[in-house]
A and B are shown apart, each in its own frame.
Chain A
């Protein structure tokens, strides 16, 4: 197992803490007065996405996490998991909806993703920031009631529900933010 010492700390490195992989999101070098250097870091747990703060002093070292990135695409949804295929190896890997995050509800077959592996196990996917989805059902808005501040639910092709403005009709294509699940715009044509 290789280690990383504080002098090589920088944003983006992946390290192991208590046996779990973390991404260094920020690293601030502090050195007050005549004291020892201190590295204040913010780390994201790559398994559950939680953030923690850890402080190191010069000379400390941490274990490097064997994390690598690849490309792949979404294949299909199993009973409780989502199955992806690596574009290089054609190997299939599955992930829980929790590990995918909010965007799992909007995954359409064939969607291309970045793949994140830890010790060759898929631990996360980086999806497009937004997806274009077809509305399969939404109540017809009352005639004349097309004000943009009136909202209603709409079902999209993946089965998920999105809150949309009143002027959206069944059959429309809409753009959805994958990180928040929010409606962004109606596609023309």
Chain B
């Protein structure tokens, strides 16, 4: 899977879970400020990403993750 395809797949999951328009899911988008996502949304997103990409994310890895780009990098590093 190319980087673009991987990001598209990531975006699809984010759009579905966070219920936001696709064009708002950009690498710089901040979960709280730009996407109006609360802590439960993030938990749901992580669980959905784990399922979609067949990876496991530890709680400690989520510290400091504030943007779509950071979350994407975290998942990609596990593929």
A binds B: no
| Chain A contacts to B: CB under 8 angstroms | none
